[in-house]
């Protein structure tokens, strides 16, 4: 049974429609990659899932309807969105940023032990706990954003361009960690990424979005093998 079901999703800003009837599903514990060029609607798709933009159509997570709800309610239902730009609380300390990720959870002891878990994924954060998050490097802020999202113990993790602005080595490390998180916590992940090669490396399923419509769907291998995708997004011919 599918964990995330997106059906006929329409979304946009004001009068400008960006998504025109997007339809896909993600199984529990799977990583799903959304690929596509600039302006295809990838970020808008994640925003629609987390309630940041108005939508039509239906989105359900584990049978619970998400569509039409506000972002804070959707977060309470277990959706953690690492937004474009990382959503860092700049003047707050690294530790406060992480604790905010668990804002809707109860039980301080559990939250504390989850903090330790985040430090094992991202040891660098532990060395900067009392530092203002705005002073972190881009890569560290991306780690912080993912750490913050994990503090929710999400059912569904939405990642928006985790590679944006990061050095290739840092990006690879980040994807390795996301893969480890997915394997260890069985968290369902939807990742939007321009770097198709990296995204397909950790995903089971992938969809190609173009001008607000899914034009190609399949397993990561199928998508990787597709000549069109290879030319447009992977930079080589099969």
Partner 1 sequence: MAGFLQQVVQGLGAGAIYASLALALVLIYQFTGIVNFAQGELAMFSTYVAWQCMAAGLPFWVALPLTLVVSFAGGMLIERVIIRPVEGAPELTIVIVTVGLFIFVNAAAGWIWTFLIKDFPNPFPGGALELGGVSLSFSTLGVLGVVALVMGLLYLLFQHTKIGLGMRAVAANPASARLVGIRVGWTLALGWGLAATVGAVSGVLVAPLLFLEPNMMAGVLIYAFAAATLGGFDSPLGAVVGGLVVGVAETLAGAYVGFIGSDLKVGVPLVIILGVLLLRPQGLFGRAAVERA
Instruction: Report the 10 Å Cβ neighbour count for 88.
Output: 20
Is 62 a binding residue for partner 1 by CB under 8 A? The answer is no
Q: Which of 99, 155, 207, 224 binds partner 1 (CB under 8 A)?
A: 99
Is 124 a binding residue for partner 1 by CB under 8 A? The answer is no
Binding-site string for partner 1 from residue 168 to residue 187, where x marks contact by CB under 8 A and - marks none: --------------------
Is 143 a binding residue for partner 1 by CB under 8 A? The answer is no
Token look-up 């804002």 returns 103
| Spatial CA neighbour of 27 closest among 216, 212, 115, 155 | 155
- Distance CA(132)–CA(68), nearest Å, equals 35
- Distance CA(203)–CA(32), nearest Å, equals 5
Is 64 a binding residue for partner 1 by CB under 8 A? The answer is no
Strands of the sheet with 205-210, listed across from one edge = 79-82, 156-160, 188-192, 31-35, 205-210, 213-219
- Residue 52 CB, nearest distance to partner 1 (Å)? 7
- Residue 80 CB, nearest distance to partner 1 (Å)? 8
Cα dihedral sign, 17-59-207-190: positive
Q: Stretches 89-97, 193-201, 218-226, 227-235: which one binds partner 1 (CB under 8 A)?
A: 89-97
Inter-residue contact 147 to 155 (CB < 8 Å): no
- Residue 218 CB, nearest distance to partner 1 (Å)? 30
Please measure the distance between the N-terminal and C-terminal CA atoms of the chain and give it in whole angstroms: 33
Binding-site string for partner 1 from residue 39 to residue 58, where x marks contact by CB under 8 A and - marks none: -----------x-x------
User: Which CB sits closer to partner 1, 62 or 218?
Assistant: 62
Q: Which residues pair with 27 in a beta bridge?
A: 2
- What token pair was written down for 158? 């939405």
Is 68 a binding residue for partner 1 by CB under 8 A? The answer is no
- Residue 83 CB, nearest distance to partner 1 (Å)? 6
Is 81 a binding residue for partner 1 by CB under 8 A? The answer is yes
The SS3 assignment for 39 reads coil
User: Which CB sits closer to partner 1, 37 or 91?
Assistant: 91
The residue ranges that bind partner 1 (CB under 8 A) are 50, 52, 70-73, 75-76, 80-81, 83, 87-92, 96, 99-101, 103-104, 134-136, 138, 148, 152
């Amino acid at each position: 049974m599918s964990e995330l079901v997106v059906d006929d999703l329409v979304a946009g800003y004001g009068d400008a429609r960006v998504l025109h009837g997007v339809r896909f599903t993600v199984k529990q514990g799977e990583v799903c990659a959304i690929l596509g060029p600039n302006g295809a609607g990838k970020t808008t798709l994640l925003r629609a899932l987390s309630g940041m933009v108005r939508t039509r159509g239906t989105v359900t997570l584990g049978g619970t309807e998400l569509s039409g709800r506000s972002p804070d309610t959707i977060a309470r239902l277990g959706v953690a969105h690492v937004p474009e730009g990382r959503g860092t609380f700049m003047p707050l300390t690294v530790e406060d940023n992480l604790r905010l990720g668990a804002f809707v959870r109860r039980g301080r002891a559990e939250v504390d032990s989850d903090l330790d878990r985040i430090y094992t994924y991202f040891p660098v954060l532990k060395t900067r706990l009392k530092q203002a998050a705005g002073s972190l490097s881009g890569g560290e802020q991306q780690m912080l954003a993912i750490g913050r999202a994990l503090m929710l113990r999400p059912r569904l993790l939405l990642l928006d361009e985790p590679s944006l602005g990061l050095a290739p080595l840092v990006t690879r490390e980040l994807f390795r960690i996301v893969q480890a998180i997915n394997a260890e916590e069985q968290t369902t992940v939807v990742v939007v990424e321009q770097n198709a090669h990296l995204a397909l490396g950790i995903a089971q399923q992938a969809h190609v979005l173009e001008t607000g419509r899914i034009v190609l769907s399949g397993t990561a291998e199928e998508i990787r093998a597709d000549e069109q995708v290879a030319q447009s997004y992977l930079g080589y011919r099969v």
